[in-house]
Structure 1
Amino acid sequence: MGDDPAGPDRKIADRVRILEFQVDQLRRELERLEKRHAEAIYSVAWHFGAPVRIVERAIRKLLAKTPEPSALAGVAAASAAPATRAAPAKRLLVDVTAIVAHDDKTGIQRVVRQVVRALYAERDLGVTPVAVRLQDGKLWTCEAYVAVETGRAQSAADRPLEIETGDRLLMLDNSWKDFAAFASAFAEVRAKRGAIVSCLYDLIPQLYKGASIGDVPEVHLAWLKAALVESDGIIAISRTVAEELCAYVEAQDLPHRAGLQVGWFHCGSDVAPAGAGEPSAAIRAAFSGAKAFLLVGTLEPRKGHAVALAAFDALWRGGADVRLVFIGRRGWHVDAVIDNMTSHPEFGRRLFWFDAAGDVDLGYAYDHCAAALAPSYAEGFGLPIAEAAWRGKPALCSDIPVFREIGGEGALYFRVNDAEALAQLVRDFLAGRATADPARVVRPTWREAGLRIVDVVVRDKWMRARP
């Protein structure tokens, strides 16, 4: 199952490997453009090179001054945190503004859907969940949206919401570009001795700027700075992200609300149960025959599709009869990877890519794979590890902190961005030399995720507080 990550020297080595990976990714993308779009080379080179240079500067700083693994020493322990000044809560208001306007089927919106369903399905929460959206600076109920998500008859028309004493407003949906529009709603909540809690899905745009696209790092940072000042609490989707936030606020000396609480929950991992529908013929065909390894996630550089493809290319050259299945929509900066995949001799034979798969197809894939793959170098949670474990399947993961948090002793690990290490782990797994018990993976249901959110946001079971 692999040793736990070593100290600062190991962290430096892994960051250097990530930089090398990004430079190699740049080279591959530029080679592709040179063949097909020569006129775009210089503009694209800047687009790729800028974030790589940012990462390179960060690596140089890291090599010059090795920080402690955790910068949390200056953060007050939860027992020393000041008690919340909010009144007792009777309602949990859950922002669903973005998903009501347009469901883009993103990872964040998947969390929003599942949490809303879980909260409304629970009969004894101790508080009343109310899905809300922002309209003209005021919060409205979302009766129509709730009816669709829960399967209930719509009980009333959407209407302006009157804020009540002690209301907790959970900013669960993506409000990166619209956070300032909630100012008057925040003021109303505070006037009624309520509290505002923002959800943090990851810090990747700040910690790994080269993994983002366009102005995402700037937009995310503007949102983060506003959320730190406006929120009474920040709830992250893993303890790792919560600790990264505390360390980042400390290191950057970011302004924040006095006594800012920081907590976390784990996403649910229960996907569609067997018998919930019929999978597509293409999915069934991909998992018939040789043992198949499954990688679920949007195609983008940090997800490690190139690492997986290189590892399995080595396995095929060595005579291994295995399949590699990608499920995930096309993302950014992966043209070269997709070209390599779709032009590969094994594509359609032992290499497959499905850019659209519903819960039934996904459930079938997990049920019929030999193991899941998680070769990312940065994540906020690691949902495929938990989803695979829910279906009794192990995961082969990059050795990064959040995967250790989720996978624990129930997953197998290989060195980040090391295709040969992954190939060897697959060989060991197939030969029975590497084993793991998926039952030891963190794998909550969405119901448990919802209950945990209520415990943190309503019952103040926070991890710690900023002074």
Structure 2
Amino acid sequence: MTRLLVECTHVFQHPKVNSGIQRVVRNVINQLPESVDGVECIPVVMLDGKLYRVVQLGALNVPFFDQLITFGGRLGRLAHRFWQRYQQLDQRLPSRFVRRVAYVAYRLTALACFSVPLRLIDRISQHQLPKRRVPLQHQPGDQLVLLDSSWHTDFFPFAEQLKREGVGIVSVIYDLIPLTHPQFYDARLVQVFNEWFDWITQTADGYVAISATVRDQVRDEIQRRLGPAKANGLWFDYFHLGSELDLREVTAAVEPRLARVFETPQPVFLMVSTIEPRKNHDYLLDAFERAWAAGSDARLCIAGRIGWKCDALLARVRNHPQLNQRLFMFNDLSDTSLEHAYTHASSLVFPSFVEGFGLPLVEAMQRGLPAMGSDIEVFREIGGEYMAYFDLAEAQSLADLVVGFERSGQFPATRDVANWQWIGWREASAQLAERTLRNLADVPLAEVRQHAHCP
């Protein structure tokens, strides 16, 4: 074992994307220690069948390229929503002939408005790549840590070649939700994720999850797929994520409309997440409608980019009688504006059905913002007695917490969030490296530091 090669291919290619996994990858790579007990840690990408050391993960500070990449990201999200609309329309069309005509029309429109511009943007941005990477020769005994979201990449054959040439493969697992809760995703994504997990099951030598909850789920799923005998030859561990908002700019302005939400004396409850079915925004609205009906003046602020399968929810918000009075929605907040929301809200509310970790929890609580969350195992792991929990089977459960907190001023958790502590991204990155290395028997490693919230 000679080096730890931490892979970040997707984020390297799309440095302006800032949702869940991308945020994790960027922070882990930017805080990656140079070495752990003499073992060198190197950020790498795999492109066109070659391995490269990353010199700079983010885009070069060239205004034209930065603006182009930002525009490309927005255009890509618009293209995704465009095809979601087509899929909904296709299900309602009356005949095969009409569906075929609609498909051709959508394909031609997508080609002109999205595919060609996105390919041109990608080709232009490729000119930056040689300045952000240098070739790297792998060595037998290297350990390749697949940190990024590799299920939509094309480097599988190259990774298999590296393994044949003596490189170990370690997979970071964020969650198994497309397998355990496929109803929350499009069928194609479920298929792609399942095929990727089949590949990673046959390829990886070990697995590092982002919570103990997910680690145990991964171990169970690997045993189911490979059988106990083969699974026992693999190793399973976890690390925890950090809490800083690394893209926050001290000199940047907070979005004025957001700032006005917090200028009144009424308490503001903040929900931060992509808007998609798994996050359970309908439950959130049900609970606050009950609280408002009981006389609550609380404000609900929903912050998160628009995801998938959420048209009905968006229509419900946009047509809600409390919109811009006690209900607010923001779909493109900067880290600076999000920091403002975290530091001025009264409580985070997080009614998700299932999570691999729950990054907004630690982002909020580390800033002293107490959190109310669904009573699921991973939230208990992260928040312990410092969170308040509600029953997803009954929206009144959350409504009662909101009204009770508003009237008493006493947050309904067993312990005060002021005494809660969590790791930063530097510690999280070191934890990933250390816990990977401690599972490799040929590497002498000092006792691994343990990181957890205060008892």
Q: Which residue of 1 aligns with 2:234?
A: 260
Correspondence for 1:187 among 126, 149, 161: 161
Q: Which residue of 2 aligns with 1:370?
A: 346
Q: Which residue of 2 aligns with 1:434?
A: 412
Q: Label 1:276 to 1:452 Cα distance change in 2 as closer, same or farther (>3 A).
A: farther
Bigger CA drift: 291-300 or 219-228? 219-228
Matched, 1:248 2:221: yes
Deviation at 1:374, TM superposition (A): 0.8
Q: Which residue of 1 aligns with 2:395?
A: 419
Q: Which residue of 1 aligns with 2:81?
A: none
Matched, 1:402 2:365: no
Correspondence for 2:323 among 322, 325, 347: 347
Indicate conservation of the 8 Å contact 2:35/2:41, yes or no: no
Deviation at 1:101, TM superposition (A): 2.1
Q: Which residue of 2 aligns with 1:235?
A: 208
Distance 1:329 1:394 in 2: 23
Deviation at 1:92, TM superposition (A): 2.0
TM-score w.r.t. length of structure 1: 0.73
Correspondence for 1:453 among 418, 426, 432: 432
Deviation at 1:124, TM superposition (A): 6.5
TM-score w.r.t. length of structure 2: 0.75
In structure 1, give the amino acid aligned to 2:213.
T
What secondary structure is seen at the aligned counterpart in 2 of 1:215?
helix
Deviation at 1:100, TM superposition (A): 2.1
Q: Label 1:277 to 1:125 Cα distance change in 2 as closer, same or farther (>3 A).
A: farther
Structure showing greater relative contact order (alpha-carbon pairs closer than 8 Å, 6 or more residues apart): 1
Matched, 1:278 2:231: no
Q: Label 1:433 to 1:146 Cα distance change in 2 as closer, same or farther (>3 A).
A: closer
**TM-superposition CA deviations, 1:88-129 (whole Å, max 9, x none):** x3x321212112222433311111100011115x67674333
Q: Label 1:461 to 1:343 Cα distance change in 2 as closer, same or farther (>3 A).
A: farther
**TM-superposition CA deviations, 1:265-302 (whole Å, max 9, x none):** 11111225794633121121112211100000011111
Q: Label 1:241 to 1:250 Cα distance change in 2 as closer, same or farther (>3 A).
A: same
Indicate conservation of the 8 Å contact 2:36/2:433, yes or no: no
Matched, 1:338 2:314: yes
**TM-superposition CA deviations, 1:108-165 (whole Å, max 9, x none):** 1111100011115x6767433322221221212222436859xxxx997633211134
What secondary structure is seen at the aligned counterpart in 2 of 1:176?
helix
RMSD in angstroms over aligned alpha carbons? 2.6
Q: Label 1:156 to 1:357 Cα distance change in 2 as closer, same or farther (>3 A).
A: closer
Q: Which residue of 1 aligns with 2:40?
A: 128
Deviation at 1:186, TM superposition (A): 4.1
Q: Which residue of 1 aligns with 2:24?
A: 111
Indicate conservation of the 8 Å contact 2:349/2:373, yes or no: yes
Indicate conservation of the 8 Å contact 1:263/1:461, yes or no: no
Instruction: Give unmatched runs, 5+ long, in structure 2.
Output: 62-128, 442-447, 449-455
Correspondence for 1:287 among 235, 256, 262: 262
Bigger CA drift: 251-260 or 347-356? 251-260
Distance 2:419 2:160 in 1: 41
Deviation at 1:440, TM superposition (A): 5.6
Q: Which residue of 1 aligns with 2:178?
A: 205
Deviation at 1:250, TM superposition (A): 3.1
In structure 2, give the amino acid aligned to 1:278.
A
Distance 2:388 2:277 in 1: 22
Q: Label 1:447 to 1:334 Cα distance change in 2 as closer, same or farther (>3 A).
A: same
Distance 2:373 2:356 in 1: 14
What secondary structure is seen at the aligned counterpart in 1 of 2:145?
strand
Q: Which residue of 1 aligns with 2:87?
A: none
In structure 2, give the amino acid aligned to 1:177.
H
In structure 1, give the amino acid aligned to 2:54.
C
Indicate conservation of the 8 Å contact 1:242/1:264, yes or no: yes
Matched, 1:316 2:289: no
Q: Label 1:274 to 1:323 Cα distance change in 2 as closer, same or farther (>3 A).
A: farther
Q: Label 1:393 to 1:231 Cα distance change in 2 as closer, same or farther (>3 A).
A: same
Deviation at 1:448, TM superposition (A): 1.1
